[in-house]
Amino acid sequence: MLGAAALPKLKIESMEVFTVQVSARGNWLFVRIKTDKGVTGLGEASHGMPGKADNVPMRQTLAHFFEMIKGESPFAVEQFHKRGRAQAKAGGRLTATAFSALEQSLWDCAGRALGVPSYELLGGKLYEFLNVYGNLNRATNGVRDPKAFADNARRVIADGFKYVKGAPFDSVPKLSAPKAEVDAAIENGIKCAEAMREAIGPGNELLIDCHSHFDVPRAIEVAHRMDALKLYWYEEPVDPEQLEDTIAIGKGIKQRMSGGEVLFGKEGFSPLCRTRALGVIMPDVKHCGGLLEGRKIAAVAELDNVAVSPHNPSGPVATAASVQLCAGLSNVSLLEFAWGEVPWRAELINPPEQIVNGKIRVPDTPGFGIELNDKEVARRALA
């Protein structure tokens, strides 16, 4: 084991922020820190401010948290948690995402400095490959009807994935809207889910995300209507912070439930695990506090035999960070991948992501195992 004297003497000097134009559903925002010896570390702060294209508040918040690590060693992750965690938790999604991005960058930088994958600093790896599911929701824009969902589901399977996720209920209005409008939107969503199941066949797994569009009675009704689809999971029919509602739905349906994509910290997930309200929790390295917090969240889940499947409809940096997190989790289930959102995704990093037969390889290269393609990032940058 390395002693303190063996650690490279590095000080963090600077930070760069890159915003890449992606789609109407959100841009990708990457962070890169740099030390006095030229060692760098990457993080991702995408989707921290839904609907805010300019990202100015996010950049300001990143600059605030950067002052907590400037001049410090990239190995001082716990120190950063002590200095910034309370603010990250109290400030909502924006602050949680900024804090999480810089926390990621410390792990990448530390791994690069030592010439080892970041997972080695988190306890090592258990897997050579991780199962990945293709989330087609960000690729299914415009017309969101059964044919569009089915066509994309078929393409996801053709790309080698065995697990496919969609969110066919995104057009459901607030339940206070006229009943006829709500019923029509739900009917369309169920038909889209049925079309996806038919498209992928019985030998592959179907995951349905409801994005918290329901209440308890509607959630149970919709789940019952999808019993025949044999879902791998039924995701967030209500906001999982509505703990009693989530428990009630779980008692009323057959499907396993998942959720927790924007929750922060172990305390955000602990009630869901302790009560077994969810069978699968979904911490996101962009929002949950980063990799160290992700490990703690997974440990909390393990106590109650709850699986972990990191939420990750994200850019390639968050995916690389999520792979490092998942590599050492004994209770990991699946990792999410935003399938088909843009055709040039692979051009942003070196080496490009490689998902073969629905699996992504855990790299053995330093840090997160990737570098930004600066020229391509600049070409795609937000003006």
Rounded to whole angstroms, the Cα distance separating 5 from 274 reads 41
Final residue in a domain of this structure, among 116, 135, 161 = 116
Does 215 map to a domain? yes
Are residues 82 and 134 located together in one domain of the fold? no
Are residues 241 and 287 located together in one domain of the fold? yes
Does 228 map to a domain? yes
CB atoms within 10 A of CB 85: 20
Final residue in a domain of this structure, among 69, 99, 116 = 116
Rounded to whole angstroms, the Cα distance separating 361 from 202 reads 26
Are residues 157 and 63 located together in one domain of the fold? no
Residue 137 CA: distances (Å) to CA of 131, 221, 287, 294: 19, 23, 20, 25
**pLDDT at position 178:** 97
Strands, E assignment, the chain: 12-23, 26-35, 40-44, 129-135, 163-166, 205-209, 233-235, 257-259, 280-281, 307-308, 335-338, 349-350, 355-356, 359-361, 371-372
Does 186 map to a domain? yes
First-to-final CA distance of the chain = 47
Are residues 97 and 144 located together in one domain of the fold? no
> What CATH number did the domain enclosing 41 receive?
3.30.390.10
Question: Which residues are registered as beta bridge partners of 166?
Answer: 208
Rounded to whole angstroms, the Cα distance separating 176 from 218 reads 12
73 Cβ contact list (under 8 Å, min separation 6): 7, 9, 10, 11, 12
Residue 3, classed as helix, strand or coil, is coil
Match 């109290």 to its residue by tokens: 90
Query: Which residue ranges in the chain fall short of pLDDT 50?
Result: 1
Checking phi first, is residue 157 left (phi over 0); if not, alpha (psi -120 to 50) or beta?
Answer: alpha
Residue 348, classed as helix, strand or coil, is helix
Are residues 29 and 96 located together in one domain of the fold? yes
Are residues 204 and 268 located together in one domain of the fold? yes
Are residues 99 and 131 located together in one domain of the fold? no
User: What is the Cα Rg of the chain in Å?
Assistant: 20
Residue 352 CA: distances (Å) to CA of 79, 173, 368: 33, 38, 12
Are residues 261 and 138 located together in one domain of the fold? yes
Number of helices (H) and strands (E) in the chain: give both, helices first: 12, 15
Does 382 map to a domain? no
Per the document, the length of the chain is 383
Token pair for 241: 């912070």
> What CATH number did the domain enclosing 307 receive?
3.20.20.120
Largest Cα separation within the chain, whole Å, is 69
CB atoms within 10 A of CB 253: 20
Question: What is the domain count for the chain?
Answer: 2
Q: Are 322 and 310 in contact (CB under 8 A)?
A: yes
Are residues 312 and 207 located together in one domain of the fold? yes
Does 275 map to a domain? yes
Token pair for 68: 């907590």
Are residues 69 and 133 located together in one domain of the fold? no
For the segment 147-161, what is each residue's pLDDT rounded down to a tens digit? 999 999 999 999 999
Segments forming the whole domain that contains residue 66: 4-116
For the segment 193-241, what is each residue's pLDDT rounded down to a tens digit? 999 999 999 999 999 999 999 999 999 999 999 999 999 999 999 999 9
Final residue in a domain of this structure, among 98, 116, 134 = 116
Are residues 98 and 131 located together in one domain of the fold? no
Does 381 map to a domain? no
What type of residue sits at position 195?
A: A
Rounded to whole angstroms, the Cα distance separating 370 from 302 reads 30
